[in-house]
Structure 1
Amino acid sequence: MSAMSRTDPVAPDHGAPVGVPRLDVDPFSIEYFDDLHPSQERLREAGPLVYLDKWKVYGVARYAEVHAVLNDPATFCSSRGVGLSDFSKEKPWRPPSIILEADPPEHTRTRTVLSQVLSPTALKQVRDRFAAAAAAKVDELLERRSFDAVADLAEAYPLAIFPDALGLKQEGREHLLPYAGVVFNAFGPPNQLRQDAIERSAPHQAYVAEQCQRENLAPGGFGACIHARVDAGDITAAEAPLLVRSLLSAGLDTTVNGIGAAVYCLARYPDQLARLRQDPSLARNAFEEAVRFESPVQTFFRTTTREVEIGGHRVGEGEKVLMFLGAANRDPRRWENPDSYDITRRTSGHVGYGSGIHMCVGQLVARLEGETMLAALARKVSSIEITGPVKRRYNNTLRGLESLPVAIAPV
């Protein structure tokens, strides 16, 4: 047997019980990021539970186990950190998120506030504005014909509308994307990516902390709506800025990487772009399928609160379990032809935004922006062609592109 899949007994201090496949895959390495699908297949096929020697943590990569862990927050908690750091043993690098890094009942109360502020009704009120901005952006790019689909589309479109909807001032918005990048790098292990991100984070953190204060948010925006819940007694004055902060990181990165993934898919699968052009009502599903197919959020950790059985193996209390969302989204046990991009696929159940009580708070915003942008492309663009080298952006948690040079042609 190769080291990649050995199941020999391990020393008691090594963590993994006898029989759990031990893999030497490092899911936070540049080599892994460059070509992750073969490694993810090995992770899935090794068994329902694996042990990663590099970081001494358990991993689940099959859909059934990932979904089960996500939907059992009492056993697999978030309050001890959704990254490799265990908050019961070490100090978090920033004040923990009262949404992402919290458990019920505290999580239930704050999550309810965010869900009401970002309700389908609230998003319906901004839908026309988002759709008009998407159409204007596509018109502008059609005049240029050639551009970078990451900087000029996937980043430019959300940055043109979401900060306004949130009520942010114009100045300093260049900190938003770097801040989100820092947050998601920090969920990883103490590697170079995490270290560099945190070392550079001070100005981004300072900007975000200031912008989340009540006096800096425009009336009528999502941010002001969150602060208004302090007056209603639903949250405290100290919690309100932290909830705005959660919205800032959750509402941008998922959208930017999701739209980038969708354009990348449509460029590589012209038959799917043709199908979308024939039926623009598929725009929402085309975006969902891109999120399943590329999985902009690749991994998250949970920590066990008690001894639990996973895949026939006993896992003790206080163990970190790494969920491979991207691997689960391509698990052939759950999806037919998982490695193909099909905009007519029934995508419900994918874990690209997570699942259960901690499902991404920005998902409705991401879906609305993704749908309106793909609908605009479907109506106005006949072809998308990749015209140069595609560069990946490296992040411990997020999967996205740094650069995607394309040329588009009008209908």
Structure 2
Amino acid sequence: MGEDDMVSHGSTVPASGLDPFRLDVLADPYPAFEELREAGPVVWLRRYGVWAFARHSAVRTALLAPETFFSSAGTGLTDLRTQSSWRSRSLLQEADPPDHTRARQVVGSVFAPGMIQDLRADWFRVADEAVRAAVGPDEVDGMEQIAQVLPLRMFADELGIPSEGRAEHLPRFADVAFNLNGPANELFDEAMSAGRTVMPWIVEHLYPESLRPGGWGDQIHRRARAVGYDREEAAVLVRGLLVAGMDTTVKGLGATLLYLATYPEQYAALRADPGLMRAAFDEAIRLESPIQMFFRTVARDAEVDGCTVPAGDRVVLLFGAANRDPRRWEDPDRFDIGRRAGAHLAFGAGIHACVGRMIAYVQAEAVLSALVRRCASIELVGTPRWRLNNTLRGLDALPLRLTAAD
């Protein structure tokens, strides 16, 4: 590494001209992630004037220290301290205690363990119907016909979103929202254009009069008002649940299908021991983290693995890189459902850990239960197509053949 690859911020640390938002990097981010991990525990990204944390230990340190690495200046590239945003600030994702604590209590109160158990039978039934319909000699799209079914149908039903317009607008909404977390690149411009048609429909369905009475969205409004939030703030809480709970789960389920099809011996192991279903899902989202990165801002000078990160600077936490760190995982690029992958950071960690992760696990269990019961094998019969996004990583299409079990 030459002199141009170092920068002094109280100490000499690596610097890089790498652009994590370049389209070819988004298409295959792992060589770039390896470069950043091996450069050092923290790396200065010259193009954006931010620090990159790519190692598991550094990312986890930041997630578990919200008083030092705070969220209220924005979790996308835009610095909300000095720049305007295309939307109002998220009251969950882009808030710090005590504001974050208050918002999380409202949203979290909807997802009581008993409620999740009450939903299991319906969700397992719908997953079984989807898998049963996909089994046979013909090629199917694993994304449209399996991975999307529970989030788009059951999650949206429980949230209280009406069926009409749902299939058209909900998948595009997450794509728009997460692309706008990045820089003004081609994907950002496309999202701004798509948002003109998607966002009016979404905004209309954030308020009680458009939500099913008694659904999660309606409950959030009632509980939010009870603790002092106004109508607009309650709608922002519903929006946060909608953007976080739909597309990320679709992408996680898609990655699980992809890896089980790519590694038939692992699918055989899962059929032999269905108790590994959660492990299989964890391993898939470790390898293909649906949310690849979020930003934080440094409240005070911080020591991270021997490097000083100055107060006021911004940091990008690269979950997709941390989850393949060989310092944490042996043979990290291999899909192994026998691995203890529960320490992955795909759901975040600390106070901002995904509030709906148990719902994602139930959906994964429902889909995998149907697969191991009905399918002797899952075969990849074409080239998977990835959908590029400034924040997310996930498939757009997954050609599969599902062979019926005897």
Q: Which amino acid aligns with 2:358?
A: L
Distance across 1 between alignment mates of 2:158 and 2:188: 30
CA deviation string 1:26-52 (max 9, x = no partner): 111111123222221111111111011
Distance across 2 between alignment mates of 1:190 and 1:356: 30
In the alignment, is the contact (CA less than 8 A) between 1:8 and 1:18 conserved in 2?
no
TM-aligned CA deviation for residue 235 of structure 1:
3.7
Distance across 2 between alignment mates of 1:344 and 1:237: 47
The runs of 5 or more residues in structure 2 that have no matched partner are none
In the alignment, is the contact (CA less than 8 A) between 1:137 and 1:157 conserved in 2?
no
Q: Which amino acid aligns with 1:156?
A: V
- Corresponding residue SS for 1:378: helix
Distance across 1 between alignment mates of 2:40 and 2:191: 33
**Superposition map of 1:305-384 within 5 A:** 305-384=299-378
Q: Corresponding residue for 1:229? A: 223
2:297 is aligned with 1:303 = yes
**Deviating more after overlay: 305-314 vs 56-65:** 305-314
Q: Corresponding residue for 1:115? A: 108
Q: Corresponding residue for 2:238? A: 244
The normalised TM-score by structure 1 is 0.94
Q: Corresponding residue for 2:193? A: 199
Distance across 1 between alignment mates of 2:280 and 2:113: 20
Distance across 2 between alignment mates of 1:2 and 1:40: 20
Which of 15, 22, 30 in structure 2 is aligned with 1:29?
22
Which of 382, 404, 408 in structure 1 is aligned with 2:398?
404
- The RMSD of aligned alpha carbons is 1.7
TM-aligned CA deviation for residue 18 of structure 1:
5.2
Which of 100, 103, 106 in structure 1 is aligned with 2:96?
103
In the alignment, is the contact (CA less than 8 A) between 2:7 and 2:14 conserved in 1?
no
In the alignment, is the contact (CA less than 8 A) between 1:66 and 1:324 conserved in 2?
yes
**Superposition map of 1:5-404 within 5 A:** 7-9=5-7, 19-143=12-136, 145-173=138-166, 174-230=168-224, 232-233=226-227, 235-404=229-398
In the alignment, is the contact (CA less than 8 A) between 1:384 and 1:408 conserved in 2?
yes
CA deviation string 1:122-181 (max 9, x = no partner): 211111111100001001111564211112221233212111111111112121111111
- Corresponding residue SS for 1:27: coil
- Corresponding residue SS for 1:333: coil
The runs of 5 or more residues in structure 1 that have no matched partner are 11-15
- Corresponding residue SS for 2:261: helix
**Deviating more after overlay: 361-370 vs 292-301:** 361-370
In the alignment, is the contact (CA less than 8 A) between 2:386 and 2:397 conserved in 1?
yes
In the alignment, is the contact (CA less than 8 A) between 1:7 and 1:19 conserved in 2?
no
Distance across 1 between alignment mates of 2:246 and 2:388: 17
Q: Which amino acid aligns with 1:181?
A: D
TM-aligned CA deviation for residue 237 of structure 1:
2.9
Distance across 2 between alignment mates of 1:9 and 1:218: 55
Distance 1:85 1:172, change over 3 A: same
Distance across 1 between alignment mates of 2:140 and 2:358: 28
Task: Report the count of equivalent residues.
Answer: 404
CA deviation string 1:321-376 (max 9, x = no partner): 01110111111111122111111221222100111111123322211111211111
- Corresponding residue SS for 1:382: strand
TM-aligned CA deviation for residue 234 of structure 1:
5.7
- Corresponding residue SS for 1:55: coil
TM-aligned CA deviation for residue 409 of structure 1:
0.3
Q: Which amino acid aligns with 1:155?
A: Q
Distance 1:233 1:22, change over 3 A: closer
Distance 1:230 1:322, change over 3 A: closer
> Stretches of 4+ moved more than 6 A in 1?
none
Percent of pairs identical after alignment? 43
- Corresponding residue SS for 2:246: helix
Distance across 2 between alignment mates of 1:33 and 1:288: 22
In the alignment, is the contact (CA less than 8 A) between 2:11 and 2:308 conserved in 1?
no
Q: Corresponding residue for 1:13? A: none
- Corresponding residue SS for 1:117: coil
Q: Which amino acid aligns with 1:292?
A: R
CA deviation string 1:237-274 (max 9, x = no partner): 33221111111111101110000000001011101100
In the alignment, is the contact (CA less than 8 A) between 1:250 and 1:361 conserved in 2?
no
Distance across 2 between alignment mates of 1:2 and 1:396: 30
TM-aligned CA deviation for residue 231 of structure 1:
5.3
In the alignment, is the contact (CA less than 8 A) between 2:52 and 2:318 conserved in 1?
yes
In the alignment, is the contact (CA less than 8 A) between 1:384 and 1:406 conserved in 2?
yes
In the alignment, is the contact (CA less than 8 A) between 1:281 and 1:375 conserved in 2?
no
Distance across 2 between alignment mates of 1:334 and 1:259: 24
Distance across 1 between alignment mates of 2:272 and 2:373: 9
- Corresponding residue SS for 2:317: strand
- Corresponding residue SS for 1:100: coil
In the alignment, is the contact (CA less than 8 A) between 2:387 and 2:394 conserved in 1?
yes
